Amino acid sequence: MNAISSGKELGVDMTPEMSNLIMKVEENIKRRVAINSKIDFSKLKEEMVSRFGNERAVDHSLSILIKNDTLKQVEGKRVLLRLK
């Protein structure tokens, strides 16, 4: 699922620039977190916001990856586990 179609599903109108940024953030998260490894949610979010400077895009990317079962929230939603 790409950022454009997920935005339409959520009822959010996105600019092409925002959808491109969301896709870049998703790819960076996938590169940053190895499969079957865990990372602190707040640490990952802080890293991505400092890298891309757009908290909304980072939040949207994380929610897409969680929805697609690429990431799973564990330990009281404080930790993310990369599944695929």
Task: Give per-residue pLDDT as tens, 29-56.
Answer: 999 999 999 999 999 999 999 999 999 9
Query: What are the residue ranges spanned by the domains of the chain?
Result: 3-82
- Its pTM stands at 0.83
What is the pLDDT, as a whole number, of residue 34?
Answer: 97
Domain 3-82 has CATH 1.10.10.10: yes
| CB-side neighbour CA atoms (13 Å) of 56 | 7
pLDDT of residue 2: 55
Element housing 80 (H / E):
strand 79-82
Report the Cα–Cα distance between both ends of the chain, in Å, rounded: 14
Q: How far apart are CA 69 and CA 21, in angstroms?
A: 20
Identify the band that residue 5 occupies on the pLDDT scale cut at 50, 70 and 90.
low
